[in-house]
Structure 1
Amino acid sequence: MKAEAGPDLDFDTALAMLAWQVELGADEALSDAPINRYAAQAPAEAGSDAAQPGAAQPAPQRAAMPQPMPAPQVGPDPVAVAEVSARGAADLEALRDAIAGFGHCELKRGAKTTVFADGNPAARVMILGEAPGREEDLEGKPFVGRAGRLLDRMLAAIGLSRSSPDPQASVYISNILPWRPPHNRDPEAAEIAMMMPFVRRHVDLAAPDILVLMGNTPCAAVLGRRGITRMRGQWTEALGLPVLPTFHPAYLLRNPHAKREAWADLLDLRARLKGLP
C-alpha cells in the first residue's frame, strides 16, 4: 500500500521532485518545516512576534570573499637599472659591455650572442631595426642573411655602405633589442621598455645626423606609434634627430610590391643627406 504524500501531491510525483532537488545539489535538510525564502522579510524589531525565540529567522548572508591583491614586484625595476647602466657608459665599447652584462631581460638566456651593432660608428646615418633573427644571433651582427643582403643592395644604390670608412658614405646599424626573441616572435612591450635606455644612449654616443627606423617595432619604440605602411616616408623628429620611418628589408622580401615605395624613401634619404653641411 502506498504512503500518502499529501492531499494534492501523490507519492510518485513527490519522489520525482525529491530526486530532482537531489540532482540540483539539495542533499541536506536544514529544518523540519520548509521555508519560503521569497516571503522572507527583513529581521523584525525587538519585541515583535518574529523576534521571539523559536520564530523562523532569515538565513544569514554569506560574507563576500576578499579580492586577492596584485603581487608586488620582486627585485629592482629593470627599466631603472637600465637607465643607471646606460648613463654610466662613456663610450660605445662601454655601452656594449653594459648591455652584455644586463641580466634583467629573459631573452638573454635563450640567445647565443649579444648583437650590438655593425658598420661605421662615425656615419651620418644610423639605422635601427627590430631584433636579431636566427642568422644574426649566430653571427653576432644585425641585418645579415637574406634581409641583410637586400639592405646592402638598397644602400649601395644610393652610395652608402656599412663597410665604408668614410662617414659621408657609410651607415651604422643596430636594433632595438640585442637578443633574439624565441621563434622570432614580436618583442614584448616590457622587453622594449627595459632596453630603450640603452637605445637612447646608443644614439647619443653614435651622434648620427639622421636616424632611419626600419619596421613597426623601432617606430613603436622611438616614436610611440605603429602602422609602418602609413608612416613610411614621412619625416619626423625624435631623440633630437630627423627620423625617417621605412620598411624593414624582411618585409620587402615578403611583399616585393612595396619595393617601389622603399626606393622612394631611399631617394628621399639621399636628397636629405646632400642637403646637410
Structure 2
Amino acid sequence: MSDSTPQERLREALRGLRAFVEEARESFVEGFPRAGTAHLAAARASAGATVGGRSAEAPSELAVVREEIGDCRRCKLCERRTQIVFGVGNPHAELLFVGEGPGEDEDRMGEPFVGRAGQLLTDIITRGMGLQRSEVYIANVVKCRPPGNRNPEPDEIAACQPFLFRQIDVISPKVIVALGKFAAQTLLGTVTPISKLRGRWFEFRGRKLMPTFHPSYILRNPADKKLVWEDVQLVMQELGLPLPKSAKPRA
C-alpha cells in the first residue's frame, strides 16, 4: 500500500490528466471532453476526501475543466466574445443554477448573471431563499455571449455541453435549477416547452433537477413571477431551507 498522502496522489493524477489533455489537443481526438471525465474521476478517487459527499478537491478539478476549455475556438461564438464566462460560486454547493448564456454585462465582467436578470436571480437567492450568492454555484449552457443576446444555436450548445456536464459532475450539487428553455432542454434532452416542464422534479445524473422560467423572462412577464416563487419553494423544501411563514409547503 502506498504511503503517499491524498494530496500527493491527487497531484500525480492531475499531472497525468494534464498530459492526456495536451496529447488529445495535439491529435484532435474526437469526443475528448468525455474521455477526460474518467481522468477527473480517477483524480477524485485518488484524493479520497469528500465534503458532504462531494469532492474536497472540486476547486482543482474545476480548474482542470477550465484549462481544457482554453481559448476556445470550438464554435463561432468565439469570434465576437470579449471573454469566456465559465461559472462562479461555491465549488461544493448543494444548489446549482444553470442559465442560458452570457449577456453583454456578463461578457464584459466575466461572471454569469450580473445584469438585470442577474440582479433578479440574486434577489431570489438572497431575499427569497435566505442564502448568499457565494453559497451557490451559477453557470450557463454556453460559455460565450451569443451576438446581440440571440438564442444559442444547436452547434453552439453541443460544443459547450460536455464542459457543462463535467462542471455539474465535479460540483455534484444536491439540486440543479434549470433557468429557462435552453437549460432545461439541454439537461433533460427534450424539446418539451419550459411552460410544461417547470414546477416538476426531474433527475439529471442522479441529482434532482427543477426547471423554472429564466429571470429575463420574468422581467418581460412579471405576472409569472409567482410561478417561479412556487418552484423556488419546492427547491427550498428539498434542501431543508425554512419557508416564509406565509408560504404553504407543497407536495
1:204-223 matched pairs, under 5 angstroms: 204-223=169-188
In the alignment, which residue of structure 2 is the partner of 1:83? Answer: 34
Q: Structure 2, unaligned stretches of length 5 or more?
A: 1-26, 44-60, 242-251
Q: Distance in 2 between matches of 1:147 and 1:87?
A: 35
Structure 2 residue 92 is the aligned partner of structure 1 residue 122: yes
Structure 2 residue 220 is the aligned partner of structure 1 residue 247: no
Q: Distance in 2 between matches of 1:77 and 1:187?
A: 25
1:38-77 matched pairs, under 5 angstroms: none
**Match for 1:158: what amino acid?**
M
Q: What's the % identity of the aligned pairs?
A: 39
Structure 2 residue 175 is the aligned partner of structure 1 residue 224: no
Query: SS state of the match for residue 261, structure 1?
Result: helix
Number of residue pairs aligned between Structure 1 and Structure 2: 194
**Match for 2:74: what amino acid?**
H
Structure 2 residue 145 is the aligned partner of structure 1 residue 180: yes
Distance 1:214 1:255, change over 3 A: same
Structure 2 residue 153 is the aligned partner of structure 1 residue 202: no
Mapped contact 2:89–2:138 kept (Cα < 8 A)? yes
Query: SS state of the match for residue 244, structure 1?
Result: strand
Q: Distance in 2 between matches of 1:247 and 1:77?
A: 38
Q: Distance in 1 between matches of 2:197 and 2:73?
A: 34
Q: Distance in 2 between matches of 1:79 and 1:199?
A: 18
- With the length of structure 2 as denominator, give the TM-score of the two structures: 0.72
**Match for 2:91: what amino acid?**
P
- With the length of structure 1 as denominator, give the TM-score of the two structures: 0.66
Distance 1:178 1:171, change over 3 A: same
Structure 2 residue 156 is the aligned partner of structure 1 residue 191: yes
Of 198, 220, 230, the match for 1:264: 230
**Match for 1:159: what amino acid?**
G
Mapped contact 2:75–2:155 kept (Cα < 8 A)? no
**Match for 1:80: what amino acid?**
G
Query: SS state of the match for residue 142, structure 2?
Result: coil
* Superposition deviation, residue 147 in structure 1: 0.6
Query: SS state of the match for residue 137, structure 2?
Result: strand
**Match for 1:205: what amino acid?**
V
1:107-142 CA-partner distances (Å, limit 9, x unpaired): 122110110111211110011001101100000000
Q: Distance in 1 between matches of 2:143 and 2:36?
A: 15
In the alignment, which residue of structure 2 is the partner of 1:159? Answer: 130
**C-alpha RMSD of matched pairs (Å):** 2.0
Distance 1:256 1:78, change over 3 A: farther
**Match for 2:178: what amino acid?**
L
**Match for 2:196: what amino acid?**
R
**Match for 1:230: what amino acid?**
K
* Superposition deviation, residue 209 in structure 1: 0.7
Q: Any runs of at least 4 consecutive aligned residues in structure 1 with deviations exceeding 6 A, and if so which?
A: 76-79
Query: SS state of the match for residue 159, structure 1?
Result: coil
Query: SS state of the match for residue 154, structure 1?
Result: helix
Instruction: Select the structure that is richer in helix.
Output: 2
